[in-house]
C-alpha cells in the first residue's frame, strides 16, 4: 500500500512540477523537507557553515544568494548589498570560495545598464578581496545580454566567468567568442524549458553537444569549469587531462562522485545556494532528476 501511495504521490508531484501555473504556497509546503538537501538555509551564516564544510571535504565553495526575475529596483539593491556583504563574510571566515549571481537578480529584467553596473560593483569587490566572480546563465531570452555584460565586465576584471548551457544550439559560437576574449566558462547542461528552435530537446543531443563543447574548452586554453553530475561526462572531462579546468557540482547532489574526484586530486567546487527564494531553484532540481522526484514523493508519504 505504501508503494502505491508513493507512486500516486509521484504522479501528482510530476504534474505540479511540470505545470507553469503551480500553486507556489502548496509547493513550498511539499518541497521544504527535500529542498534542504540542496539549499544551505535562509541566512548567509548557514551558507558560510556549508561552505566551510565543503572546504573540510576538500572542495572550494561557490555561494549563491537565491533570487531571479526581480523587477523591483529596491529588491535589486538588496541583492547587491547581500552579495557585497557575503564576499566580506567569506573573507572574514576564511572560506575558500567565491560567489555566483544571476543577471535577473541584479536587474537585467529591469534595465541592462543597471545590471551591468551592479556586476561591475561585484567584480570590483571580488578583485579587492582576491576572489573570483561567476555569472549564472538563465533562460534563453537573457543569453545574449548576459554574455554581453560578461564581456564588458571581463575587460577590467579578468577573475570572472560565465555559465554556458550545452542544450542551447548557439553555445558553440558563444564559447568561441568568449575564448577569443580570454573569458572563462562554466559548462552546464541547462535546466530551463526552451523551444526546439533554441535548444536540443533529447538527452542524446544535449550530451553530444556537451562532449563537443568540452573539447572546445580544453583546446581553447582558458580556465573552464565542468559543471555536470553526469558520471560519463565527468569521466570524459577527466580523461582530457586538461590542467585548466575544475569540476563543479551542486550541494546535495552526487556527493560520492565529488569525493571520488577529490581523492584523485582533481579540483572540485560545490555550488551552495541559500535564501528565502529557494522554490524556483528547487523545482528545477527536482525536474532534472527522477531520483529527486522520488525523494519528494517519499517525503510526502512519510508526512
The answer to whether 234 and 268 are in contact (CB under 8 A) is no
Other beta carbons within 10 angstroms of residue 158's beta carbon come to 15
Q: Which of 92, 101, 93 is nearest to 55 (CA)?
A: 93
Angle formed at CA 246 by CA 198 and CA 232, multiple of 5 degrees: 65
- Would you call 16 helix, strand, or coil by DSSP? helix
Asked about 186 being catalytic, the answer comes back as yes
Angle formed at CA 138 by CA 235 and CA 228, multiple of 5 degrees: 10
Asked about 170 being catalytic, the answer comes back as no
Q: Which of 97, 144, 113, 138 is nearest to 271 (CA)?
A: 97
Residue spans of beta strands (DSSP E) within 122-198 = 133-135, 160-165, 185-188
Q: Which of 125, 128, 126, 106 is nearest to 116 (CA)?
A: 106
Q: Which of 29, 57, 186, 289 is catalytic?
A: 186
Q: Which of 136, 174, 207, 285 is catalytic?
A: 136
Integer Cα distance of 89 and 195 in angstroms: 40
Integer Cα distance of 303 and 293 in angstroms: 16
Q: Annotated catalytic sites, by residue?
A: 136, 186
Amino acid at each position: 500500500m505504501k508503494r502505491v501511495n508513493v507512486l500516486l504521490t509521484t504522479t501528482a508531484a510530476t504534474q505540479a512540477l511540470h505545470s507553469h501555473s503551480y500553486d507556489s504556497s502548496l509547493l513550498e509546503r511539499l518541497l521544504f523537507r527535500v529542498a534542504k538537501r540542496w539549499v544551505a538555509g535562509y541566512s548567509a551564516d548557514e551558507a558560510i557553515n556549508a561552505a566551510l564544510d565543503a572546504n573540510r571535504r576538500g572542495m572550494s565553495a561557490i555561494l549563491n544568494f537565491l533570487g531571479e526575475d526581480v523587477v523591483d529596483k529596491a529588491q535589486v539593491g538588496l541583492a547587491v548589498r547581500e552579495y557585497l556583504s557575503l564576499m566580506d563574510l567569506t573573507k572574514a571566515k576564511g572560506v575558500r570560495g567565491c560567489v555566483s549571481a544571476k543577471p535577473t537578480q541584479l536587474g537585467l529584467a529591469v534595465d541592462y545598464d543597471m545590471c551591468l553596473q551592479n556586476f561591475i560593483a561585484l567584480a570590483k569587490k571580488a578583485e579587492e578581496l582576491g576572489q573570483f566572480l561567476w555569472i549564472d546563465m538563465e533562460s534563453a531570452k537573457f543569453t545574449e545580454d548576459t554574455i554581453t555584460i560578461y564581456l564588458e565586465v571581463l575587460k577590467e576584471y579578468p577573475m570572472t566567468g560565465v555559465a554556458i548551457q550545452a542544450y542551447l544550439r548557439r553555445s558553440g559560437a558563444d564559447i568561441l567568442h568568449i575564448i577569443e576574449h580570454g573569458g572563462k566558462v562554466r559548462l552546464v547542461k541547462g535546466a530551463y524549458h526552451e523551444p526546439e528552435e533554441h535548444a536540443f530537446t533529447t538527452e542524446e543531443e544535449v550530451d553530444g553537444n556537451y562532449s563537443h563543447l568540452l573539447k572546445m574548452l580544453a583546446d581553447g586554453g582558458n580556465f573552464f569549469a565542468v559543471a555536470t553530475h553526469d558520471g560519463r561526462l565527468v569521466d570524459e572531462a577527466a580523461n582530457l587531462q586538461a590542467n585548466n579546468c575544475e569540476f563543479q557540482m551542486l550541494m546535495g547532489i552526487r556527493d560520492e562522485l565529488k569525493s571520488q574526484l577529490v581523492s584523485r586530486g582533481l579540483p572540485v567546487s560545490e555550488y551552495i545556494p541559500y535564501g528565502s527564494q529557494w522554490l524556483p531553484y528547487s523545482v528545477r532540481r527536482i525536474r532534472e532528476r527522477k531520483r529527486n522526484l522520488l525523494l519528494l514523493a517519499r517525503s510526502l508519504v512519510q508526512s
